[in-house]
């Protein structure tokens, strides 16, 4: 727009402006108008709203209007009038900023800042190849996974354009998967966003508090604009509008703290060598020790609570840092999986070290060094936001790596500063000595660590009458949290003042950082709610308010939480019950899974295209799958079998830890891998590895977790025939290729089970299975013998094995079986001899034997 159209005439009608002016005069005669927002918050708000007109434009494509006009009109009519924390002057200014954010050479400082923030956030866009332009009303969003590559493993160019997201609200179903042949329906999607906005109750804190509005607005964007491309016409549509708006808002807030000189340099060239913001990172340490050094007593009950607690703690600390630095919620770029990252203004760099020290001190007092969160920051420059699709690395990847190295250094000298200042707090002595009752789960003594007393907290050891065991108040609270999570529908967050007192519980540390959290059902949430609380709906991207017993409780956002549990009534099944529910042998299985080379994927996978928005999209996509969609996978598998046999103990970032009936967990591992491949568009560089271990019900869960982790690590050392590594399944200690597991092992396992049970009229004796097992043992012994002859290579060993005595014994055994089975047995013979599946025969026999074992 030109400078002569800087007012919003044409967007707000003259009569509307006259009405506003008359109201201002009338109110000004009796009461001074209060401006609730700072200038920094105002510009950030404009950044969060500035491109919403692109969504409106695509929904109303027949009406030719620029997206700035659409956005300013909709915001002025539908959004700003509901926000009581804005003055009328600020409403006009925000509308003006949205309407003019593409104006050439603006004079006003706020508009210049918004333009620079938009330029920096848009520096990530990749120009379309050739002269063909995109069609905004029909083009849909590409998946971020299609552009990932590691070495020679990547999707070919012809495959990348195929995978698009359907234009549907975010739901934990098929709609989150990229699909082929997607048709855009932006009018319907936009109507749903408008309806969700209008349905927010007038008493919601969204309309009276800036931070709450930002949180709600981001939630609406993630629910409805997660699949809307931010730019289409001249660039590849691989960045979601929700991420572009958040990055622009966060950068706009930070840029308002710059002086005029750097702003002028950035106005001339936004991608110059000028520092623009701080990237702050937080990383939790001590996770493995905190989760897996507990005893077997109560491990199944408390492990879910402990793992969820670490995520809640990390998010509470991220929120604490945000409050201390007074930045809006949009500046938290990511929080989950034990990490958080946020953007802050440059002048705040001197506050990071004191905050780090404060966080460490609080956690040392509560956990005695068992759990800690490190904090550090690096400056980002304008040229860090410019991408180069032809480069191997982007400048941002170097900054990201630098920050991760600084955080790792903090972990290496975790308690040094406190030890120098107060050595007794780090080195002790600790405890009271002598025979003292200890917690049967975590082995802590009463009121340990001693610093709890200074905070007026106690950690008593209670005798559990039913279990005849002693447990500390903290471990008891983790067991309660496990049950709360399984039943919860909502998470309620409240800002609190004062210090925690009384017995040490899981929420005591959160209170020390200024927050209280409840995980409740609908009725409990309605009863606990107080004005100003933040209520999040769990595992549904839905902001519909709670209406219960005449109360209307506003929902300000949503979050995903792995909470699937094997519930019977109000109780979670224990390991004995899960083992007994297995088909065949009464075992339970521990499953550990994670994404292969995730650090490299974040650092190198996008090459020169790495940007803040793509990082956010990648992180958010993994969160949706692992923390949200896995609940659906578990539920579908259990529903298909008519029983609850799976227990999703942990899923965060890219890690999974689940237990359950052994056959159900094996099926879960296969299903997760199958679904994840679809989710990442079958990109060969984005893979999963897993490890499973089977145990009797009395085997300690924490030890089972360690065994499964060992099998997972073995799988990550696996090398495939084509040279690529990882992407494997540690199946009871034997590493197998996923495709071989799902195509050959599963096929023959199911066939052997049918024959052993005679379900289709064809039967073999169990002696047949044991004969196959002896053949497998014989071949393994012969292979070890041949491998001692070092002059023979792998090919020669396989050739000699193929004609060894096991083969003739196999022919003999198979020929003795019934005639109607011979065609299938001949195929089994060929698979073992010619396709080198002999190495899996022992595992196959063991699997089939467990599936058909009697009680």
pLDDT in tens, 159-192: 888 899 999 999 999 999 999 989 999 999 999 9
pLDDT on residue 17: 34
Q: Is the pLDDT of residue 26 over 80?
A: no
**328-385 pLDDT per residue, tens:** 999 999 998 889 999 999 999 999 999 999 999 999 989 988 899 999 999 999 999 9
* Single residue among 487, 520, 553 that ends a domain in this structure: 520
pLDDT on residue 770: 86
**194-213 pLDDT per residue, tens:** 999 999 998 899 999 999 99
Instruction: Name the nearest CA neighbour of 70 among 98, 93, 104, 44.
Output: 98
Q: Is the pLDDT of residue 453 over 60?
A: yes
User: Phi and psi dihedrals of 145, rounded to 5?
Assistant: -70, -20
pLDDT on residue 652: 82
Written as six digits, the tokens of 144 are: 């971020």
- Asked whether residue 841 is assigned to any structural domain, the reply reads yes
**553-568 pLDDT per residue, tens:** 999 999 999 999 998 8
Model confidence at 293, in pLDDT bands (50, 70, 90)?
confident
Which residue is listed with tokens 């077997």? 296
- The span from the CA of 652 to the CA of 566, in Å, is 19
- The span from the CA of 53 to the CA of 241, in Å, is 11
Are residues 759 and 636 both part of a single domain? no
**94-117 pLDDT per residue, tens:** 999 999 999 988 889 999 999 999
- Asked whether residue 156 is assigned to any structural domain, the reply reads no
- Asked whether residue 343 is assigned to any structural domain, the reply reads yes
pTM above 0.85, yes or no: yes
Are residues 32 and 95 both part of a single domain? yes
pLDDT on residue 781: 66
Are residues 743 and 659 both part of a single domain? no
Are residues 307 and 445 both part of a single domain? yes
Are residues 17 and 32 both part of a single domain? yes
Q: Is the pLDDT of residue 738 over 70?
A: yes
Q: Mean pLDDT throughout 692-718?
A: 93
- Domain span at residue 686 reads 562-732
Instruction: Name the nearest CA neighbour of 602 among 593, 590, 615, 587.
Output: 615
Neighbouring CB atoms inside 10 A of 47's CB total 30
pLDDT on residue 221: 98
Are residues 450 and 477 both part of a single domain? yes
Is cis: bond before 449, omega within 30 of 0? yes
Written as six digits, the tokens of 91 are: 């409403």
Are residues 828 and 761 both part of a single domain? yes
Cα-Cα-Cα-Cα dihedral of 476, 478, 479, 482, to 10°? 160
Most confident of 109-113, 737-741, 752-756: 109-113
- Asked whether residue 404 is assigned to any structural domain, the reply reads yes
- The span from the CA of 814 to the CA of 134, in Å, is 62
* Single residue among 469, 486, 520 that ends a domain in this structure: 520
Are residues 76 and 103 both part of a single domain? yes
Q: What is the mean pLDDT of the chain?
A: 88
Are residues 454 and 510 both part of a single domain? yes
pLDDT on residue 805: 63
Are residues 595 and 458 both part of a single domain? no
- Asked whether residue 21 is assigned to any structural domain, the reply reads yes
**Per the structure, how many domains does the chain have?**
4
- The span from the CA of 303 to the CA of 479, in Å, is 8
- The span from the CA of 64 to the CA of 501, in Å, is 62
**412-447 pLDDT per residue, tens:** 998 888 888 878 777 776 666 677 888 888 888 888
pLDDT on residue 258: 96
Angle CA 204–208–210, to nearest 5? 110
Q: Is the pLDDT of residue 21 over 50?
A: no
- Asked whether residue 196 is assigned to any structural domain, the reply reads no
Bridge partners, residue 342, by sequence: 280, 332
Q: What percent of the chain has a predicted confidence (pLDDT) above 70?
A: 90
- The span from the CA of 476 to the CA of 602, in Å, is 38
Instruction: Name the nearest CA neighbour of 363 among 298, 309, 403.
Output: 309
pLDDT on residue 499: 87
Q: Which residue has the higher pLDDT, 788 or 4?
A: 788
Written as six digits, the tokens of 365 are: 């007092």
Q: Which residue has the higher pLDDT, 620 or 11?
A: 620
Q: Is the pLDDT of residue 127 over 80?
A: no
* Single residue among 675, 706, 732 that ends a domain in this structure: 732
**762-799 pLDDT per residue, tens:** 888 888 888 888 888 877 766 666 566 666 666 665 65
Length of the chain equals: 855
Are residues 767 and 855 both part of a single domain? yes
Q: Mean pLDDT throughout 30-51?
A: 80
Are residues 844 and 717 both part of a single domain? no
Helices 822-834 and 746-757 cross at an angle (nearest 10°) of: 150
- The span from the CA of 438 to the CA of 469, in Å, is 10
662: CATH: 3.30.70.270
pLDDT on residue 785: 61
């Amino acid at each position: 727009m030109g400078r002569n159209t800087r007012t919003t005439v044409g967007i707000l009608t003259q009569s509307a402006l006259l009405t506003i002016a008359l109201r201002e005069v009338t109110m000004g005669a009796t009461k001074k108008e209060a401006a609730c927002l700072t200038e920094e918050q105002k510009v950030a708000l404009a950044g969060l709203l500035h491109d919403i007109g692109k969504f409106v434009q695509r929904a109303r494509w027949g009406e030719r209007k620029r997206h700035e006009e659409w956005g300013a009109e909709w915001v002025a009519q539908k959004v700003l009038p509901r926000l009581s924390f804005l003055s009328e002057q600020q409403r006009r200014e925000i509308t003006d900023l949205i309407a003019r954010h593409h104006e050439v050479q603006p004079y006003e400082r706020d508009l210049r800042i918004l333009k620079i923030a938009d330029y920096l956030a848009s520096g990530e866009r990749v120009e379309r190849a050739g002269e063909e332009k995109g069609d905004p009303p029909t083009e849909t969003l590409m998946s971020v996974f299609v552009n990932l590559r590691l070495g020679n493993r990547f999707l070919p160019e012809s495959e990348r354009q195929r995978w698009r997201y359907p234009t549907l609200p975010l739901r934990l179903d098929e709609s989150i998967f990229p699909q082929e042949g997607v048709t855009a329906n932006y009018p319907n999607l936009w109507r749903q966003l408008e309806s969700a906005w209008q349905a927010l109750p007038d008493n919601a804190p969204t309309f009276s508090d800036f931070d709450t509005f930002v949180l709600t607005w981001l939630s609406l964007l993630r629910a409805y604009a997660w699949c809307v491309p931010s730019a289409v016409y001249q660039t590849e549509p691989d960045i979601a509008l929700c991420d572009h708006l958040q990055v622009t808002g966060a950068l706009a807030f930070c840029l308002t703290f710059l002086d005029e000189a750097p702003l002028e340099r950035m106005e001339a060239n936004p991608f110059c060598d000028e520092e623009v913001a701080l990237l702050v990172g937080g990383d939790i340490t001590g996770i493995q020790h905190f989760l897996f050094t507990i005893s077997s007593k109560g491990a199944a009950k408390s492990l879910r609570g402990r793992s969820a607690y670490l995520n809640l703690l990390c998010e509470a600390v991220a929120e604490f840092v945000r409050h201390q630095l007074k930045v809006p919620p949009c500046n938290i770029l990511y929080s989950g999986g034990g990490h958080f990252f946020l953007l802050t203004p440059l002048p705040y760099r001197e506050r990071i070290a004191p905050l780090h020290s404060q966080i460490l001190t609080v956690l040392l007092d509560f956990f005695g060094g068992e759990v800690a969160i490190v904090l550090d920051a690096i400056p980002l420059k304008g040229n860090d936001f410019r991408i180069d699709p032809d480069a191997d690395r982007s400048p941002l990847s170097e900054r990201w790596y630098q920050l991760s190295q600084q955080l790792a250094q903090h972990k290496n000298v975790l308690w040094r500063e406190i030890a120098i200042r107060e050595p007794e707090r780090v080195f002790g002595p600790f405890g009271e000595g002598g025979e003292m009752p200890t917690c049967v789960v975590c082995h802590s003594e009463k009121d340990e660590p001693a610093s709890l007393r200074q905070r007026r907290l106690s950690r008593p050891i209670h005798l559990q009458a039913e279990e005849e065991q002693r447990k500390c108040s903290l471990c008891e609270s983790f067991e309660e949290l496990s049950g709360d999570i399984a039943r919860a529908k909502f998470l309620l967050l409240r800002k609190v003042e004062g210090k925690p007192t009384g017995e040490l519980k899981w929420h005591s540390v959160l209170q020390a950082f200024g927050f209280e959290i409840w995980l409740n059902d609908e009725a409990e949430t309605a009863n606990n709610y107080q004005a100003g609380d933040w209520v999040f709906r769990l595992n549904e991207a839905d902001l519909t308010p709670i209406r219960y017993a005449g109360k209307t409780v506003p929902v300000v956002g949503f979050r995903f939480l792995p909470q699937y549990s094997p519930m019977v009534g109000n109780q979670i099944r224990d390991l004995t019950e899960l083992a007994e529910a297995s088909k065949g042998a009464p075992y339970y299985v521990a499953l550990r899974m994670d994404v292969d080379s995730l650090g490299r994927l974040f650092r190198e996978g996008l090459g020169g295209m790495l940007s803040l928005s793509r990082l956010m999209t990648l992180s958010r996509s993994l969160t949706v799958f692992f923390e949200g969609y896995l609940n659906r996978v578990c539920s579908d598998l259990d529903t298909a079998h008519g029983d609850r046999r799976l227990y999703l103990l942990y899923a965060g970032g890219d890690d999974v830890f689940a237990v359950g009936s052994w056959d159900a967990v094996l099926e879960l591992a296969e299903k997760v891998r199958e679904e994840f491949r679809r989710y990442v568009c079958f990109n060969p560089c984005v893979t999963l590895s897993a490890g499973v271990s089977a145990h009797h019900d009395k085997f300690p869960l924490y030890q089972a977790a360690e065994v499964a982790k060992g099998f997972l690590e073995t799988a990550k050392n696996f090398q495939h025939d084509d040279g690529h590594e990882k992407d494997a399944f540690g199946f009871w200690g034997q590493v197998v290729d996923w495709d071989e597991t799902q195509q050959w092992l599963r096929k023959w396992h199911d066939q052997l089970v049918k024959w052993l049970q005679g379900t289709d009229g064809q039967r073999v004796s169990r002696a047949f299975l044991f004969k196959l097992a002896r053949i497998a043992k014989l071949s393994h012994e012969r292979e070890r013998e041949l491998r001692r002859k070092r002059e023979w290579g792998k090919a020669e060993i396989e050739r000699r094995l193929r004609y060894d005595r096991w083969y003739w014994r196999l022919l003999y055994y198979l020929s003795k079986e019934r005639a109607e089975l011979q065609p299938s047995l001949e195929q089994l013979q060929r698979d073992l001899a010619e396709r080198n599946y002999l190495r899996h025969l022992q595992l196959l026999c063991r699997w089939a034997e467990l599936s058909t074992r009697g009680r």
